[in-house]
Amino acid sequence: MSTAERAGARAGPGGVMVVVFAATVIALSFVLARLVYDAGSNPLTVIALRYPAVILMIWGFLRLSGRTTGLPTRSRLRSYAVGLVYFGGTSCYLASILFLPVSLAVLVFYTYPLMTVAFESVLQRRLPRPLEAVAFLAAFAGLALALEVSFASLDPRGIAFALVGAAGASASFVWAGRTLAAEDMTVVTFHMSVCGAVVAAVLVLASGTFALPSADLAGWAPLAGTIFCFSVAFLAMFTGVKLIGALRTSMIMNLEPIATIALAVLLLGERLTPQQLAGGALVIGAVLATQVRVQQAPVS
């Protein structure tokens, strides 16, 4: 057993609960974003306000753990590039909930782990493994059920935004894993967030789309909530990686779409039909299957 595995075993249920908390809180941040839009704001404003909070949270975490934000020049530039791709993915995901119910947007977006497997297969010049191929088919079948294969009541823009968001998230993970694996990923994420903050600020100023929600509790409370929850979830995920390791953390973070759907039902009054629930179960099951396969694969 490696040092990281022994540390994860010692962390026990405490580390697991930290990651469960992270998955739930990040789901809450996206549900609250829908309320912010309803109060008159927009995705670009939410992103522009989120990034500074994330930067401060990560900077404080690094300082408390005795680390700096320094990276070699090449790695820092790569971090900015990955941050730009991730910014695009996150922006599209947040934009998708302007056009789709949150519960359906998260199902489409959550195909990104499957896209990651596909990207890795292409880069490794190999065909998908049997389990991966079955997972792809199950996920697409699940999406067909969840979206009821009908654009009559679903805005195609929402589906397109969620799929592009998933591709952006997947591409950023693959790129970071292949070019920045030797660096401290918390520091890498700090620089990714700096890039995102700069790009968001430039876009907001250039487009003139900065729009705060209505100046009452119904507007400001969800705005403060989505910013706070997103920042705390980032810190909790990093803490989880330290306590139980990256693989176990990624497995538990699969609770995010389930938590998002549950919170959308509770807070937004959204309802899924039995057919959509069955489709959602297929998507989440496919993602879990590929994650279990990754976790069980021997380390080369």
Write out pLDDT tens, residues 155-183: 889 999 999 999 998 888 888 877 887 88
Percent of the chain at pLDDT > 70 equals 87
Domain count, the chain: 1
Confidence of residue 153 (pLDDT cuts 50, 70, 90): low
Per-residue model confidence (pLDDT) at position 295: 52
Q: Of 94, 58, 60, whose CA–CA distance to 79 is shortest?
A: 58
For the segment 73-101, the average pLDDT, to the nearest whole number, is 91
| Residues 99, 171: Cα–Cα separation, whole Å | 24
pLDDT tens digit string along 248-295?
676 677 788 888 888 888 888 888 788 878 888 888 887 777 666 555
Expressed as residue numbers, the domain containing 162 is: 3-296
Q: Indicate left, alpha or beta for 155 from its phi (over 0: left) and psi (-120 to 50: alpha).
A: beta
59-70: pLDDT as tens digits: 998 898 899 999
pLDDT confidence band for 298 (50 / 70 / 90): very low
Mean pLDDT, all residues of the chain: 82
The whole model's pTM is what? Answer: 0.78
Would you place residue 247 in the very low, low, confident or very high pLDDT band (cuts 50, 70, 90)? low
Choice among 53-57, 85-89, 131-135, 205-209 with the minimum mean pLDDT:
131-135
